[in-house]
Structure 1
Amino acid sequence: MIRTLLRVLGHEYAVPMRRTVVLMVLTAVAEGLLYALLVPLLRALLGGTPADARPWLIAFAVAVAGYALLRYRSDLAGMRVGTTMLRGMYHRLGRHLARLPIAWFTGARVGEVSSMAGRGLLAAMGVAAHLMAPFVAACVTPLTIVVVITVVDWRLGLTALVAAPLVVAVHVVTARSAAAADTAHAGRADEAAARVVEFVQAQPVLRAGGRDGFEPLDRALREVERASRRRTLSVLPGAVGLAVTVQFVFTAVLALGVALAVGGGPHRTGAAAAGSDGLVTAAELLVILVLAARAADPLLSLSDIGGKLRAARGEWDRLDRLLRTAPLPEPANPVRPARHDLEFDAVTSRDGDRIVLDGVSLTVPQGRRLAVVGPSGAGKSTLLRLQARFADVDGGAIRVGGADVRDMDPADLTARIAIVFQDVYLFDATIEENVRLGRPTATDEEVRAAATAARLDEVVDRLPDGWLTIVGEGGTLLSGGERQRVSIARALLKDAPIVLLDEVTSALDPDNEAAVHAGIDRLMSGRTVIMVAHRMRTVRRADRVVFLDGGRITEQGTPDELLRLGGRYAAFSGE
C-alpha cells in the first residue's frame, strides 16, 4: 500500500511522506512503551509501601507529556504533508491532463476525471492527514504492548501474540473479498458521474421532448446503489471476524492470567514474589489486563480504517493508471522554425479501425489562406486538430516552417496558433477575463482594441455590467454569436501567426454572422490560415480550396477554378 502511494506521489512528495511515516511509527512505539511504566507503578501501589509509587507516577506524567508533544508533532506533520500533497497532486494531475491527446477525453473518461478530481483526490491524499496515523498506531502500538506483556510474563505475551497472525489473516481475506466490490463500485460511480454531466448537457433536448427524467442516469444510479450494497456486505464478515478474534485472544489472556494469579494464593500480593514459582502477582495481572485492553482498542478499529484505506488505495490505483497514460511525446531538442508555412505530408489518421484521413498531402504558404470543404465526417475538423497537435498522426507528417510539429516544443507550437471553433467554450468568469486568456499580460488598451476589432465592444456596451459581466459556465449567459465574438477577440489578442477556423459562422443569425465575419477578416489579415467552411461567403476569402471526402482530397484549386470545374465542390457549394 505504501509503495503504491509513494509511486503515485513521485519523488517530490515521497521523501516528506517517508519522514512522516517514520515519525508516526516512533509515536506509536512511544505510546506502547508509555504503558510499560504501569508495571512498576502498579507494583508499588499494590505493594507493602504505596508511597514508593510516587517517583513512578511522576515519571508516568512526564512520559505522557512527552508522548503528547510527539503525537502533536506527528499529527501536525500528517496534516501538513496531506494538504501539501493535495495541492501538488492537483497541479500534477492538471499538467498531465493538459499533455494528453484530446481524443483521450471520451465521455466516460470525463466522468472519471471529474470524480477523481473531486472525492478521489481528497480520499487519496487525505490518507496522510487522517488515516495514516491511526493505521500505524493500530498496527505498531499493539505489537509494542505485546512486547511489554512478554517482558512481564512470557506465557501471557505469547498468548497475546497469537492475535497478530489471526488479525493479518482476517485483514487479507477481507481485502481480497472487498477488492472486486470496491472496483465495481468505483466503475459504477464513474459511470453515474458521466451520466450526470450528460443529463445536465442534454436539458434542452429533454425539455423539448417533454421529459423530466433520464433513464440512463436512473439506471446508473441504481447500479451504484447495488454496488454499494455489495461492497458493504463484502466487508461485513471481516469486521465480525476481527471483533471475534480480538475478543477471543483478550479472553484467553484474561483466563491464563487469572489461572496464574489464583494459583499463587492470596499471599501473592507483593512484588518480591513475582516469578519465584512461575506465577504472577495481582499487580502484574492488573497491569497485563490494562495493557491487553489498550492493545485491543486499536485492533478493533482496524476494520473501519482498513475499509477507508482500501477505498483510498482504489483511488491511488486509478490515479496511478491515469498518470501512467502516455502523453504526447516531447522532443529532447525542440526545433524553432523561422517560417509559418504549413505542410501536410501523406497524413493518415485513424479513429479505432476507421480511417479518418488517408494520405492527405497539401501545403499552405505563409500568409495565405486555405479553405477545407466537404461533407460531414470527411475529416475536416480532424485536419485542424492534427495541425494544432491535439493528437499525433498515425502516418506521414505535419510541418510548420519545415519543422515537424512533433519536433517542436508544445508550448512554442501552441503560442504560434490561434484557434476559433464552431462550439465556443467560455469559462465561468467575466468577459474581460475570457478575452485575456488569449494573452494574460496584455494591457487594457490591447484588450479593448481586440474587442473592437471583433465587434465585441457592441456586446459589452449593451450589457449592464459591461466588461465585468459573468458569462456563466461554458458561456451559457451569452448567445452563440456573442460567444464567437469573445472567441475571436481572444484570438486577435493572442496575435498568433497561424489561425485555424472551424465553421465559425455555420449556426449564426445574419446580424451576428456579419459581425463575426468582420472580426474574422481582421483575424486572418497577414496570417497563415486554414479554415473549415461550407458557406460561400467564407470560402471566397480563401486563396485556395481543397475538397475533402472520405478522408481524401478529391479536388483542389482556387474557388473560381473549382466552380468552373463543375465537380463535387461546385455541387456542394450550390446546396
Structure 2
Amino acid sequence: MIRRLLQYASPSARRLLVTELVFIVATAILQGIAFLMLVPVLRAFMAGDLATVGTWLIALGVVAVLYVGAFWFASQIGMKASTELLDSLLTRLGDRLVELPIAWFATDRSGSMSHIATQGAMFVSSTPYSIVRLMLTGFITPATVLVGMYAFDWRLALAMTATVPVMWFVYRWLRTGMERDDIAHQEAVGEASARVIEFARVQPALRTAGEGSVADRLVEESLQHQHRAYRGLLITGGAGIATFGGVVQLSLTVVIVLGAYLAIGGSLDPATLIALLVLGVRFTEPIANSGSLGGGVAVAKTTLDQLDRLAAVDRLPEPATPATPDGHTITFDDVTFGYGGPPVLEHLTFTAPGGRMTAIVGPSGSGKTTITKLIARFYDPEGGTVSIGGIPVPELGTDAVESAVAPVFQDVYLFDDSIINNIWIGNPDLSRDEVVAAATRARVDEIVERLPGGWDARVGEGGSNLSGGERQRVSIARALLKDAPIVLLDEATAALDIGNEIAIGDAIDQVRADRTLVVVAHRLQTIMTADHIIMLDGEGGIREAGTHAELLAHDGAYARYWRERVDAAGWQLTAEN
C-alpha cells in the first residue's frame, strides 16, 4: 500500500509521505516503550521502592514528551502530505486521460472516472493519516511490546508470539474478502453513476416517453445492483471484523490463563503478572482495532487498482522523431479495420486529393464514419496504411495529426459555457474579434441574434439550449478557427430544418477553401459539388469512385443511388406543398 502511494506521489508529496511515516513509526515505538516501562514501575511500587519508582517515572515522562512531539509533527506533516497526494493523484489522472487514445473513450466511462476523481482520490489521499497511521501504530506498538516482554517473561511472550500467525491469517482473509466485494461495489457505483448522468442528460427525450421508459428501468436496475453490492460489502466486512476481533480476544485469553497458571505455580510474581497482563491488553487492543481499518485499506486499494489499469492502457505508438508530410493528400492503402470484431473496412484503397473535397457515400454501416476516425487517428488500422502527405499516420505521431486535422462529427458536444468560449477552444491564441469573424463565416451570428446575452449566452450542458443544426454550426466554427489543413465533416443533415441545412451548406463552402475536406455526405448539393466521390459497397470495400458527372455517366450503383435520393427529395417537396 505504502509503496503504491509513493509510486503515484509527486516528488514533494513523496518527501512529505516518507517524513510522515518516519514520525508515525517513531510514535508507535515510543508508545510501546512507554507501556513496557509500566512493568518496572509496578514492580518497584509493589516492592515499596519509591526511589526506583521515581526514577522510572522520570524516564517515562521523557518518553511521553518525545511521543507528544513526534505525534504533533506526524499530524502536521500528515495534513500537508494528504493535500499534496490528492493533487498528485488528480494530476496523474488528468495527464493520463489526455494521453489515452480516443478509442478508449468509445465506452462510456464517465461514472467510473468521476468516482475516481472525487470519492476515490479523496479517500486515497487521506488514507496515510486516517488509516495507515492507525494501522502502523496498531501493529508496531504491539510488536514493540512483544519484543520487550521477552526481557520480563519469555513464556508469556512466546504464547503471544504463537497467536500472531493466526491473527495475520484471519486479517489477510478479511482484507481479501473486502477487496473482492469492494471491487464489485465500485463497478456497480460506476455503472449507476453513468446511468444517472445519462438519465439527466436525456430528460427532454424521456419526458416524451412517459413513465416506465427503458431509461427508468436501466437506472432502477443499476441502483438496485449498487445496493446489493454495498450490502454484500457490509456483510463481508461485518463478519470479517467480528471474526478477527474474536481471534484477538482469544489470544488475550490464552495469555491470561497461562499467566494465572504460572503465578499459581509460583514461577511468576504477582507484580510482574499484573504488569504483563496490562501489556497483554495493550498488545491485543490496537490489533483488534486494526481489523476494521483493514477494510479501509481494501477500499483504497480498489481505487489504486483502477489507476493501475488506467496506466496499463496501451497508447498508440509514437515516433521518436515525427516525420513531416509532403502536402495533405490522404491515402488509404489496403486498409482493414473492425473495432476488434468483424471487419468494417476490408482491403480498402483510395486517395483523397489534397486541397480538394472528397465526399463519401454509401449505405448505413458501410464504414463512412470509421474512415474519418482513422484519418483523425482515433484508431490505427489493423491492416494496411493510412497516410497523410505520403507519410503513414503512425510516423507523423498523434500530436502532428491532431494539429493537421479538424474533425466535425455528428455527436457534437458543447461545454456549459458561452457560445464564443465554445468556439474559442478551437484556437485560444486568437482575439475575440477573430473568433467572432470565424463564427460569422459559419453563420453562428444568426444563432447569437436570437439569444439573450449574444455571444456570451450560455449553451447549456452538452449544448442543450441549441438545436442539433446549431450545435453543428458551432462545431464547424471551431474547425474554421483552428485553420487546420484537413477538415473531416460528418454532414448529418437528414433531420435538420431547411434553415440549418442551408446554413451548414454555406459553412461547408467556407471550410473547403484551400483545405483537404473529407465529407460523409448526405446533402445532394454537397455530393454533387464534391471534387471526388467514393461510394462504399457496404461490405468493407469501394463500389465506385470518381466525379459526380463520371459516375452518373457510368450509370451504375452511384447513378441509382443518386436517382433514389433525388426522387425522395422531390417527394418531400411535393408532400410539403
Per the normalisation by structure 2, the TM-score is 0.89
- Structure 2 residue aligned with 1:249: 251
Q: Distance in 2 between matches of 1:129 and 1:388?
A: 46
Give a deviation string over 1:18-58, Cα, whole Å, max 9, x none: 55444433332232223233344444544435365445434
Check the 8 A contact 1:79/1:128 in 2, yes or no.
Answer: no
Q: How does 1:160-179 map to 2 (within 5 A)?
A: 160-179=160-179
- Structure 2 residue aligned with 1:224: 226
Check the 8 A contact 1:534/1:573 in 2, yes or no.
Answer: no
Aligned residue among 553, 557, 563 for 1:564: 553
Per-residue deviation at 1:421? 1.4
Per-residue deviation at 1:405? 0.8
Per-residue deviation at 1:533? 1.0
Amino acid aligned to 1:403? I
Q: Distance in 2 between matches of 1:63 and 1:488?
A: 72
Amino acid aligned to 1:567? G
Amino acid aligned to 2:229? A
Aligned residue among 349, 352, 375 for 2:340: 352
Q: How does 1:23-42 map to 2 (within 5 A)?
A: 23-42=23-42
Aligned residue among 497, 501, 504 for 2:485: 497
| Structure 1 position 311 matched with structure 2 position 299 | yes
SS in 2 for 1:105: helix
- Structure 2 residue aligned with 1:147: 147
- Structure 2 residue aligned with 1:334: 322
Aligned residue among 405, 426, 451 for 1:417: 405
Amino acid aligned to 2:477? A
Amino acid aligned to 2:551? L
- Structure 2 residue aligned with 1:233: 235
Percent of aligned pairs sharing the same letter: 41
Per-residue deviation at 1:350? 1.0
Q: Distance in 1 between matches of 2:179 and 2:156?
A: 36
Q: How does 1:256-275 map to 2 (within 5 A)?
A: 256-258=258-260, 260=262
Per-residue deviation at 1:347? 1.3
- Structure 1 residue aligned with 2:497: 509
Amino acid aligned to 1:312? A
Amino acid aligned to 1:407? E
- Gap change, CA 1:565 and 1:338, over 3 Å in 2: closer
- Gap change, CA 1:49 and 1:23, over 3 Å in 2: closer
Per-residue deviation at 1:380? 0.5
Per-residue deviation at 1:108? 5.7
- Structure 2 residue aligned with 1:116: 116
- Gap change, CA 1:76 and 1:506, over 3 Å in 2: farther
- Structure 2 residue aligned with 1:275: none
- Structure 1 residue aligned with 2:97: 97
SS in 2 for 1:429: coil
Give a deviation string over 1:40-86, Cα, whole Å, max 9, x none: 44445444353654454344333223222222333444443333233
| Structure 1 position 405 matched with structure 2 position 393 | yes
Unaligned runs of 5+ in 2: 566-577
Check the 8 A contact 2:16/2:77 in 1, yes or no.
Answer: no
Amino acid aligned to 1:154? W
- Gap change, CA 1:106 and 1:126, over 3 Å in 2: farther
Amino acid aligned to 2:251? V
Give a deviation string over 1:406-443, Cα, whole Å, max 9, x none: 01231221111111112210112222321221112222
Per-residue deviation at 1:16? 6.1
Aligned residue among 433, 440, 458 for 1:452: 440
Amino acid aligned to 1:382? T
Check the 8 A contact 1:79/1:130 in 2, yes or no.
Answer: no
Give a deviation string over 1:261-289, Cα, whole Å, max 9, x none: 5666xxxxxxxxxxxxx42352x444333
| Structure 1 position 191 matched with structure 2 position 191 | yes
Per-residue deviation at 1:481? 2.8
Amino acid aligned to 2:531? D
Amino acid aligned to 1:145? V
| Structure 1 position 207 matched with structure 2 position 207 | yes
| Structure 1 position 181 matched with structure 2 position 181 | yes
- Gap change, CA 1:343 and 1:131, over 3 Å in 2: same
SS in 1 for 2:429: coil
Q: Distance in 1 between matches of 2:384 and 2:283?
A: 67
Aligned-residue RMSD, C-alpha: 2.7
Amino acid aligned to 1:123? F
Check the 8 A contact 1:540/1:559 in 2, yes or no.
Answer: yes
Mean alpha-carbon deviation: is it higher for 12-21 or for 373-382?
Answer: 12-21
Check the 8 A contact 2:492/2:522 in 1, yes or no.
Answer: no
SS in 1 for 2:535: strand
SS in 2 for 1:505: coil
Check the 8 A contact 1:430/1:469 in 2, yes or no.
Answer: yes
Check the 8 A contact 2:16/2:80 in 1, yes or no.
Answer: no
- Gap change, CA 1:338 and 1:46, over 3 Å in 2: farther
- Structure 1 residue aligned with 2:369: 381
Q: Distance in 1 between matches of 2:453 and 2:45?
A: 79
SS in 2 for 1:93: helix
SS in 2 for 1:361: strand
Q: Distance in 1 between matches of 2:345 and 2:23?
A: 58
- Structure 2 residue aligned with 1:273: none
Mean alpha-carbon deviation: is it higher for 136-145 or for 224-233?
Answer: 224-233
- Structure 2 residue aligned with 1:268: none
Unaligned runs of 5+ in 1: 265-277
SS in 1 for 2:338: strand
Amino acid aligned to 2:166? L
Check the 8 A contact 2:10/2:85 in 1, yes or no.
Answer: no
Mean alpha-carbon deviation: is it higher for 53-62 or for 325-334?
Answer: 53-62
SS in 2 for 1:355: coil
Q: How many residues align?
A: 561
Check the 8 A contact 2:10/2:88 in 1, yes or no.
Answer: no
Aligned residue among 543, 552, 573 for 1:554: 543
Per-residue deviation at 1:306? 0.8
- Gap change, CA 1:61 and 1:462, over 3 Å in 2: farther
- Structure 1 residue aligned with 2:575: none
Q: How does 1:4-15 map to 2 (within 5 A)?
A: 5=5
Amino acid aligned to 1:90? L
